[in-house]
Amino acid sequence: MNTQVIVGLGSCGIAAGANKVYDKIKALKEVDNLDFELKKTSCIGMCYREPLVEIVDDTGSYLYGDINEERAIEILDKHIAQHNPVKEYVVQTDLFETVDNEFTQSQVKITLRNCGYIDPESIEEYESHSGYRAIKKIAGSGISRMDVIKTVLDSGLRGRGGGGFPTGMKWKFANNNKSEEKYIICNADEGDPGAFMDRSVLEGDPHSVLEGMIIGAYAIEATGGVIYCRAEYPLAIKRLNIAIEQAREKGYLGKDILGIKGFNFDIYIKEGAGAFVCGEETALIASVEGERGMPRKRPPFPAASGLWKKPTNINNVETFANLPWIILNGADGYAKYGTEKSKGTKVFALAGKIKRSGLVEVPMGMSIRDVIFKLGGGIQDDKKFKAVQMGGPSGGCIPEHLADTIVDYDSVNATGAIMGSGGMVVMDETTCMIDVAKFFLNFTQEESCGKCTFCRIGTKRMLEILERITDGKGQEGDIEKLEELSYQIKDNSLCGLGQTAPNPVLTTIKYFRDEYEAHIRDKKCPAKVCKNLLTYEVDPDKCTGCTVCAKKCPTDAIDGERKEVHFIRQEDCIKCGNCYTKCKFDAIKLS
């Protein structure tokens, strides 16, 4: 076979320097007249090993990680010229054991089936991987709209963007509302860590999303489609535009698609400004219509009155990417994965204090512990696992003792977290849970559209209390105030942003109340994170009197002669941490 050298050029790879690696390989191929095909692909999910270069030859496939220009030269010289793979750089192959093989062993890739394997700018490569076969199957077999909806219902696919509403049911509602105009919208603007997943699918396999939208359009008789994508994703938008033009040229978009008389459907991209509230479907619709992105009262629901007051169906990127696979493999093929109420697979963006960060796709029913320790490799520096925050800024924190909770909508919701669009931020023993709650609440408070008083003002008051606690000014009763405000905001906000914004606070109070009490009563941060609650002291048994700490102190708060034990005057210490970071003898201790 013709040897292929494939470079991962997703946003994560480009940020790590993959463009330079690609250019170096291209230059060497031309100068040395090397015999291989140079190709581009997108993110394969192994982001912690970027830049990634895959070589496929007669013996098999070899994925090389952490590649720079120098290593690229070595790989071409040894693997291509001498047919001798450089095993020390190989991170994944079926030919021998590697340290990262476990990252992929437990994954089941449906949403990510093509990401990292095809050139996302080539419709021919998508077609060679069963692309557009699902819509051809519908057209060629004359499958009715209701049969398509029934297949989606029977598969158990639930919306992958947040609430997990059954996708087939949503389509059925839109199908039942008759109108000469109907719309289908892909929400690609979700603002949590799971949006990394959306972006990666759009960058790596845009045609799967288009085909999913075309299937949905056929099912509900939609006449127009919109992909609402944040403008901060330029590579995703570029590849989507290329894919849309290619689909039009091949007759997958336009009039009488694939010979289905009267099936007229096209798609355009609406670039959003990245407002988190536009993850809520009525706010998204308002933004598409040119208005400020603010939620509207429901009913009427979008299925009855959505974009331009016409019946509209909205799903997210991951939901649409699943649909071609489901149509081709059948409802049972999809439903065999997962649990009774949560079928199929789920993509997670692993981030935080974890050894292997990136995108993983696992069958529903796998435990959170297995996702973190088997696929993610465990906690960085082998520190103690403390908690995982799931569901993005509006999600909740799940403590270590609940890590055996399975990936399942109902199971995750029972902890106080949410599945969301797939964010999974891992925390270790050095993480302050009040600081985490403050971080996420600060985000949702800033992203509040301001329409609801409880969301606009309530989250602000909550944030002020959290800031006071982490500044060492917490008071008795603050925890109860936070709880009271949380429930008022959840009960009285119009949209999902306000209804879920208190989740990080409520779950950290529920599972880490002792940390709140330590901050308020003892004026101590157990994780030693909150600056104003730290005390820097000199350990007399370790201090050598080198004077480095005194020289680096900006307020001259450290006394002591050379070769004598030093002392920090607490009244003058501004807790900058210079002494702690500069001391070479670990003589500065925190309490």
Strand partners, 271: 229
Q: Classify residue 458 by burial, with Cβ atoms within 10 Å: 0-12, 13-18, 19+.
A: buried
Average pLDDT over residues 195-201: 82
On whether both 549 and 581 belong to a single domain, the answer is yes
Answer whether residue 117 is part of any domain: no
On whether both 146 and 278 belong to a single domain, the answer is yes
Answer whether residue 288 is part of any domain: yes
Identify which of 200, 214, 279 has the alpha carbon closest to the alpha carbon of residue 444.
279
Report DSSP state, residue 265.
B
**For 416, what's the count of Cα atoms within 13 Å in the CB-facing half-sphere?**
22
Number of domains in the chain: 5
Domain boundary among 383, 411, 428: 428
Answer whether residue 113 is part of any domain: no
For residue 195, pLDDT beyond 70:
no
pLDDT reported for residue 399: 97
pTM of the model: 0.93
CATH code assigned at 419: 3.10.20.600
Answer whether residue 140 is part of any domain: yes
pLDDT tens digits, one per residue of 21-67: 999 999 999 998 889 999 999 988 999 999 999 999 999 999 999 99
On whether both 506 and 384 belong to a single domain, the answer is no
On whether both 132 and 226 belong to a single domain, the answer is yes
CATH code assigned at 567: 3.30.70.20
CATH code assigned at 141: 3.40.50.11540
For residue 115, pLDDT beyond 90:
yes
On whether both 82 and 223 belong to a single domain, the answer is no
pLDDT tens digits, one per residue of 432-479: 999 999 999 999 999 999 999 999 999 999 999 999 999 999 999 999
> Are the CB atoms for 511 and 399 separated by under 8 Å?
yes
Answer whether residue 217 is part of any domain: yes
Domain boundary among 428, 445, 467: 428
Alpha carbon 459 to chain centroid distance? 24
Q: Minimum mean pLDDT among 180-194, 296-310, 402-416: which range? A: 180-194
What are the E-state strand segments in 400-526? 423-428
Interatomic CA distance for residues 473 and 42, integer angstroms: 48
CATH code assigned at 35: 3.40.30.10
On whether both 466 and 324 belong to a single domain, the answer is no
On whether both 384 and 491 belong to a single domain, the answer is no
Interatomic CA distance for residues 61 and 330, integer angstroms: 30
Interatomic CA distance for residues 426 and 242, integer angstroms: 36
Q: Residue 560, SS3?
A: coil
For residue 112, pLDDT beyond 80:
yes
Average pLDDT over residues 285-292: 94
On whether both 492 and 549 belong to a single domain, the answer is no
Strand partners, 352: 426
> Within a 10 A sphere around the Cβ of 540, how many other Cβ atoms?
10
On whether both 140 and 93 belong to a single domain, the answer is no
Answer whether residue 105 is part of any domain: no
Average pLDDT over residues 65-89: 95
Answer whether residue 362 is part of any domain: yes
pLDDT reported for residue 190: 60
On whether both 33 and 166 belong to a single domain, the answer is no
**Arithmetic mean of pLDDT over the chain:** 94
On whether both 154 and 195 belong to a single domain, the answer is yes
Answer whether residue 295 is part of any domain: yes
> Are the CB atoms for 224 and 269 separated by under 8 Å?
no
Domain limits for position 580: 535-590
Q: Classify residue 128 by burial, with Cβ atoms within 10 Å: 0-12, 13-18, 19+.
A: exposed
Read out DSSP for 437-464? HHHHHHHHHHH--S-SHIIIIIHHHHHH
Domain boundary among 360, 395, 428: 428
Residue tagged 């609406």 (tokens): 270
On whether both 133 and 158 belong to a single domain, the answer is yes
pLDDT reported for residue 193: 45
For residue 194, pLDDT beyond 70:
no
pLDDT above 90 coverage of the chain, percent: 86
CATH code assigned at 510: 1.20.1440.230
For residue 343, pLDDT beyond 50:
yes
